[in-house]
Amino acid sequence: MTVVLIVRHGLTASTGKALTGWLPGISLDDRGLAQATAMAGRLASLPLAAVVSSPLERCLQTATTIASGQADSMQVLTDDRLGECKYGDWTGQSLRKLARDPLWRVVQAHPSAVTFPGPDGESMSGMQQRAVTAVRGWNEKLGPDATYLICSHGDVIKAILADALGMHLDMSQRIQVDPCSLSVIRYTALRPFVLRMNDTGADAAALAGLARRPASGPKAGADAQIGGGAGTVGDALGDAPGDRPGDGPGGPGGPAGPGGAPQVSGDTQPARRR
């Protein structure tokens, strides 16, 4: 029963301002580095079989910080399939501008119908397929007894979680994935079990228990009980959702930022802030 810890990268200077996609040179800011360091401390007592990351800088920084906190030195592995959704012509655009595009509402309500504009634009369903294929591939490669970590991006993680929950991709915008939050999935021969989502504050002792396996084997009832409690929700972005014009109906809206720009937590999903 492979246990996959999935961490979103920490905050960057662009978080909540622009859709950075695959733009190079987007690094963690001081807040993001502090988040990654805190996550490394939380996971230090949990031996990881591997740390696999999106190739983009913000994820590599987060993953490398976590890997450096392990007792044994670890090399961070990269997998392009875990990279950000390819937003095509939307890449680098301000969220304030994108929120006025009719496609924004489709992204929020029906992401399965969206292919981002431009020759490099990717469909969100294609993004989900490659990301889930990557997770399944690493599960097979690392084996049924492995506990390992993936560092990726908000939309990618929501798509992976939706698949594990047996939800249609259109429901993925109901899932909140904050910067440097932790989600945990246990994959069994029967089905995946989602143990944690958007956890930003569980203590180290609780996390250490995630790697335990039932002595009686892969029984659905036992799996469903281990580590099944949800972690705390909300971090530096706050926890006061509210609907605003320009936010699509597919996820919780958030207060507007300076000049009316929507704040985002999961890249194409509006976020929450104090």
* Predicted local distance difference test score (pLDDT) of residue 73: 79
The pLDDT of residue 197 is above 70: yes
**For residue 181, what pLDDT is reported?**
97
pLDDT tens readout for residues 132-180: 999 999 999 999 999 999 999 999 999 999 999 999 999 999 999 999 9
What pLDDT is attached to residue 270? 53
CB atoms within 10 A of CB 200: 21
CA separation for the pair 50, 76 (Å, rounded)? 7
Please state which of the ranges 65-69, 96-100, 182-186, 202-206 shows the lowest mean pLDDT: 202-206
Residue 61 and residue 120: Cα distance in Å, rounded? 25
Bridge partners for 264 per DSSP: 270
Q: Where are the beta strands (DSSP E) in 102-234?
A: 147-152, 182-187, 192-199
* C-alpha–C-alpha distance, residues 239 and 235, integer Å: 8
The residue-averaged pLDDT of 195-217 equals: 69
Q: What structural domains does the chain harbor?
A: 2-239 (3.40.50.1240)
Write out pLDDT tens, residues 44-81.
999 999 999 999 999 999 999 999 999 887 999 999 99
What is the model's pLDDT at position 206? Answer: 60
Mean pLDDT of the chain: 81
Return d(Cα 155, Cα 220) in angstroms, integer.
28
Rounded average pLDDT over 218-231: 29
In this prediction, residue 266 has a pLDDT band, given cuts at 50, 70 and 90, of: low
CA 110 vs CA 90, 166, 225, 247: distances in Å: 17, 16, 32, 13
